[in-house]
Amino acid sequence: MNILSIKNLSAGYIVNSEFVEVLRNINLDINEGDSFAIVGQSGSGKSTLALSLMGLISIDNGKISHGNIEFCGKDISSNISKIRGKDISIVLQDPHSYLNPVIKVGKQVLEALEVYNNNLTKEEKIKRVQDIFKKVKLDDFDRIYNSYPHQLSGGQKQRILIAMAIINNPKLLIADEPTSGLDADVQQQILDLFAELKKELNLTMIIITHNISIAKKYCNRIAVMYQGELVEQANTEEIFNKPKHEYTKLLLNAVLE
Ligand SMILES: Nc1ncnc2c1ncn2[C@@H]1O[C@H](COP(=O)(O)OP(=O)(O)OP(=O)(O)O)[C@@H](O)[C@H]1O
Ligand SMILES: [Mg+2]
């Protein structure tokens, strides 16, 4: 079943009072259960697409200029904020700027839960945060709960952000470059965690990465983005065995070299 459908989406940013288009006419269909990769080089518009999907682009002086977004068959273009963090969640690129440096991380996870589940008792909320810490494999609950972001490692901070993203049981989870800035072994652990969570929580996942090898290992479908356009989308095997677009071939050659 189709979970997310993007139709003729164009978006961009207002720079010096002028609208500069970054995404052009994006069409994308994601099925329930997909692990879907969006790959492309730096500046190709991957994060802009993710922000547009989440209704967050306006925070960055941007706007959707055309097109619409359907989630489970319903047009959500004008009311994404009502389901953001609940049905669709995102782990944003650059966790450092996203976590509040002066609030303990446990409280930040708790607050993410309260946005949609404030009816729970205090004990139920803490229990839920405890469960989520286990799910993202953060041991030593009391210490981590009471830490400020700067007291945690990069991998631990990323796990906190994942905890915040999944605490309200989303159906679709978007991870924008979820391992940038992490050591190779931590990168591997975080990607494996996403794969485990996907199975355990029945998630549909979109992984945004410039690394097509990550897409091959973790995703069943790949969309290739080039200069603000999606130039090709197909099953992973097809992309690797029968790439159609010149830019896709270039990406693959870079892997093989
Ligand atoms: N807030 C902004 N205002 C103006 N232009 C922006 C803004 N954010 C991004 N852009 C521009 O939009 C284009 C796409 O940027 P985007 O961040 O979406 O790329 P990306 O594919 O996510 O790159 P990366 O792999 O480096 O994260 C770039 O040319 C960038 O300069
Ligand atoms: Mg980006």
Model pLDDT, residue 182? 86
Model pLDDT, residue 126? 96
Total number of domains constituting the chain: 1
Give yes or no for residue 231 having a pLDDT over 90.
Answer: yes
Rounded distance between C-alpha atoms, residue 212 and residue 217, angstroms? 9
What secondary structure letter does DSSP report for 84? Answer: B
Q: How far is the CA of 198 from the centre of ligand 2 (A)?
A: 22
Q: How far is the CA of 40 from the centre of ligand 2 (A)?
A: 10
What is the residue with the minimal CA distance to atom 17 of ligand 1? 47
Q: How far is the CA of 233 from the centre of ligand 2 (A)?
A: 19
Domain of 47, CATH number, reads 3.40.50.300
What secondary structure letter does DSSP report for 220? Answer: S
Residues 130-159, mean pLDDT to the nearest whole number: 95
Rounded distance between C-alpha atoms, residue 140 and residue 127, angstroms? 14
Q: What does the block give as tokens for 203?
A: 């998630």
Could you tell me the pLDDT band of residue 80, with boundaries at 50, 70 and 90?
A: confident
Give yes or no for residue 1 having a pLDDT over 90.
Answer: no
Rounded distance between C-alpha atoms, residue 117 and residue 169, angstroms? 11
Model pLDDT, residue 95? 66
Instruction: Tell which one of 46, 65, 94, 209 to mutate to probe ligand 1, the residue whose CB is within 8 A of the most ligand atoms.
Output: 46
Q: What does the block give as tokens for 167?
A: 């605490």
Model pLDDT, residue 85? 87
Give yes or no for residue 256 having a pLDDT over 80.
Answer: no
Residue 208 in contact with residue 174, Cβ under 8 Å? yes
* Closest C-alpha to 57, from 8, 99, 86, 92: 92
Give yes or no for residue 172 having a pLDDT over 70.
Answer: yes
Residues 47-52, mean pLDDT to the nearest whole number: 94
Find where tokens 């055309």 sit. Answer: 66
Instruction: Tell which one of 15, 23, 44 to mutate to probe ligand 1, the residue whose CB is within 8 A of the most ligand atoms.
Output: 44
Model pLDDT, residue 77? 84
Model pLDDT, residue 38? 98
In the chain, the amino acid numbered 70 is: E
SS3 190: helix
Q: How far is the CA of 176 from the centre of ligand 2 (A)?
A: 7
> Is 48's C-beta closer than 6 angstroms to any atom of ligand 1?
yes
> Is 94's C-beta closer than 6 angstroms to any atom of ligand 1?
no
**Residue 153 belongs to what H/E stretch?**
none
Model pLDDT, residue 29? 96
Residues 57-80, mean pLDDT to the nearest whole number: 90
* Closest C-alpha to 161, from 197, 121, 126, 213: 197
> 38 to each of 105, 112, 124, 194, 234, how far by Cα in Å?
29, 26, 37, 16, 11
> Is 209's C-beta closer than 6 angstroms to any atom of ligand 1?
no
Rounded distance between C-alpha atoms, residue 83 and residue 81, angstroms? 6
* Closest C-alpha to 5, from 75, 64, 100: 75
- Residue ranges of the alpha helices (H) in the chain? 46-53, 95-98, 105-117, 122-135, 141-145, 154-166, 184-200, 212-218, 236-241, 246-256
Q: How far is the CA of 42 from the centre of ligand 1 (A)?
A: 8
Residues spanned by the domain of 205: 2-256
